[in-house]
Structure 1
Amino acid sequence: MIMMKNIDHLSLDGRSLYMLKQIYEHRSVTETARMLGVTQSSVSHSLDRLRGLLGDPLFLKVGRAMVPTERVESMMGEIDQVLEGIEALYHQSDFDPLNSTDRFSIICNDFEHDLLVPAIFSRLNQEAPNCTLRTHQQLIMGNVCLKKGVADLELCPYPPKDSSDLVISKLCSDRQITYYDPDVRDAPRDLEDFVASDHAILSLGTNEATAIDTQLSSMSRKRRVSYIGPNFTSAAMVVRGTNMLATAPSRLAGSIFRDLAWVETPVELEPVDFYMVWHVRHRHSPRHKWFRDLIKTVASDLPETSQVCKETIARRTVANDAKGPKRKHAVITDKAAIVRD
């Protein structure tokens, strides 16, 4: 329990506790003021008030950082509970999507955007026609954005490691296939051909290691990675018109990689899982729960991966046939790519 002697405990309010939590997370009065949309002097004044109420300096200035005292460290768990309780009181009433004018926001990369956002927006427009959907580009520190309240939730392939106050739920899985430009090259014939090719990969942060490279290393093989991009769209752009390969989720065959051919990757890989991540503060929010349920419904309605690939290739094959027999085209089955004259 937070022990408060000789002070009026009712002088502590939710706004001040939330500000204290933000200073604790950002270690900066300036950043807290910017995030809350108030002046730095306003935050400093509120902090001085809390220091007087609690009889503790709360934060010590060390260089440019604000270092929390032991008192603050011991209080943070209970402050989180108090703030969650306040939000639960605020959201006691049911959410009425039909009459709501709320804004919902999602952090995602290009894959999750192409795969889920159009259907999310369509369903949102039907069930909550006066609401607005805002998407943010996925950042390396997406979990920080959730803690700051920048977005309602994040859609991502890799759940954050710092997840003590985040809720993570799996939405769907996908297998990986290897894409190439059939106008420039044939499909890789085998593992040796795959390894000998130049590759484009995706890296969301500083870690550039992939499951493929781990598998190849276990087989004493190494591929050449000649391009490392921030998203799948960039990988598709550099593969197009070159002899490079890009290994990515199969559902991209119907969107970002739609004009490329694909082949089964000659390395055994685990399926890629995709998650929905949100801050625990929204646990009791009817509005937020309604939005989460909407996204889960959209994810559960996704078509089978193989069907997406078949439809994409069928359209490309018909288009190639219409151009005549002068150029080679790839016919893709569920097992491999067969190049025909």
Structure 2
Amino acid sequence: MKEIDFLSLDGRSLRTFLTVLEELSVTGAAARLGVTQSAVSHILDKLRLALGDPLFVRSGRGIVPTDRAIALREPVRAVLDELKGLTNERVFDPLIGALEFTIAANDFQRDLIFPRLLLDFQTEGVDARFRFIPSGIPAADLLRRARCQLIVTPYPPEGPDIYQSRLFDDKLACFYDASVRSAPSSPEEFVDADYIEVRFDDSESSLNAVFVAEPLVLKKPRVSVPNFAAVAPFLKGSKLISTESSLMGKINLKGFASAPVPFKTEALTMYMAWHKRDHIDPAHQWLRRRIKTHVEMILDSR
């Protein structure tokens, strides 16, 4: 039996393997890693030779992992976490080198926090690059499989390996076009109104946060959209209402009238969540501090 040349394995190759395993596509893995398809194929060829297994085989128009590749998922992830841990005690200076972060957030959280934060980094000379993916109602596997380094969400995933920190509390508001209608003044008017619902890819509704304190039975939404940015075009000029975080009046729903919802609701709390592998990483700690400071400035300007 051929002895495996374990010294030919390196962190970049193992990361590429995990990415292909998650994407089940060389093209998708290349796009996510920011490299060419030929570079990914070359690394897979090297891994196949080192591990003595094809790892991925053609199936129809796609690829499927071999049993060996599936069995390697968790050991490879553990090795990468250990390698990352070797750098956690390094001296960190945000002005030295490039920083790259993948963040899972829906468009409200993304647009509220990060455009201005990135401008601040550019002014300071920090070479930071962000890649955003939608979070929906996020699952812990987003972090466990290193699909992102940070989640910003009102629904943080839980687990012994998941850390979370409160970013801010907000209240819910009813948004509407004041040139067409007034705000619902009672629970009955609210229930009777036609409304816009944001429903994420995982079929979870943003309205889950609305009826925690006082359960109300709504009729079916007049419109369902996949993100918060899509609310405004339907709201404008219509009698529709939309119930969202009041801070959305600063971005996605800027220019629309808003009023408190006419019944008791719980506060809407926004969190950051991250995996234990990044907990003591100095670059990650620095980013979390900067986000918190930036959010405090946003809240002070309300």
Assess same fold via TM > 0.5.
yes
Displacement of 1:66 after TM fit? 1.3
- Structure 1 residues 168, 68: CA separation in 2 closer, same or farther (over 3 Å shift)? farther
Distance 1:303 1:288 in 2: 23
1:26 and 1:32 in contact (8 A); partners too: yes
Q: Secondary structure at the match of 1:179?
A: strand
Give the counterpart letter for 1:275 in structure 2.
Y
Letter in 1 for 2:75: E
Query: Which of these residues, 1, 15, 18, is aligned with residue 18 of structure 1?
Result: 15
**Aligned counterparts of 2:45 and 2:251: Cα–Cα separation in 1:** 54
Does residue 179 in structure 1 map to residue 178 in structure 2?
no
| Residues 166 and 51 of structure 1: CA distance in aligned 2, closer, same or farther (over 3 Å) | farther
1:247 to 243, 262, 275: 243
Give the distance between the partners of 1:253 and 1:39, measured in 2 at CA: 42
Seen in structure 2, the aligned counterparts of structure 1 residues 86 and 266 have a Cα distance that, compared at 3 Å, is same
1:297 aligns with one of 283, 293, 297: 293
Contact 1:24 1:68 in 2 (8 A): no
- Aligned residues: percent identity? 31
Letter in 2 for 1:24: L
* 2:83 alignment partner, one of 67, 86, 90: 86
Which amino acid is 1:77 matched to?
Answer: E
Q: Residue 225 of structure 1: SS of its match in structure 2?
A: coil
CA 133–75 in structure 1, closer or farther in 2 if over 3 Å, else same: closer
Q: For residues 137 and 33 of structure 1, do their structure 2 counterparts lie closer, same or farther at Cα, with a shift above 3 Å needed?
A: closer
**Tell me, which stretches of 5 or more residues in structure 2 are unaligned?**
none
Q: In the alignment, what sits opposite 2:112?
A: 115
* Partner-residue secondary structure (3-state), 2:29: helix
Larger radius of gyration: 1
Match of 2:166 in 1: 170
RMSD: 4.0
The equivalent of 2:36 in structure 1 is 38
SS in 2 for 1:75: helix
* Cα distance in 2 for residues equivalent to 1:212 and 1:88: 37
How many angstroms does 1:214 deviate by?
6.2
Q: CA offset at residue 155 of structure 1?
A: 2.6
Report matched runs for 1:121-200 at 5 Å. 121=118, 123-125=120-122, 128-132=124-128, 134=130, 136=132, 138=134, 153-159=150-156, 168-200=164-196
Q: 2:260 matched to 1:261?
A: no
Counterpart CA distance in 2 for 1:114 and 1:15 is: 31
Q: CA deviation at 1:285?
A: 3.2
Deviations 1:257-305 (A, max 9, x none): 343333322343333232334465544532222112211232345537x
Cα shift at 1:247: 0.6
Structure 1 position 132, deviation (Å): 4.1
> Secondary structure in 2 aligned to 1:236?
helix
- Residue 20 of structure 1: how far off its partner (Å): 2.3
Aligned length: 298
Gapped runs of 5+ residues in structure 1?
309-341
Residue aligning to 1:65? 63
Q: Does 1:222 align with 2:251?
A: no
State how far apart, in whole Å, the 2-side matches of 1:216 and 1:91 are: 42
Residue deviations 1:154-199 (CA, integer Å, cap 9, x gap): 43334469x8986554322322121222322222231221122111
- 1:293 partner letter: R
Q: Which amino acid aligns with 1:82?
A: V
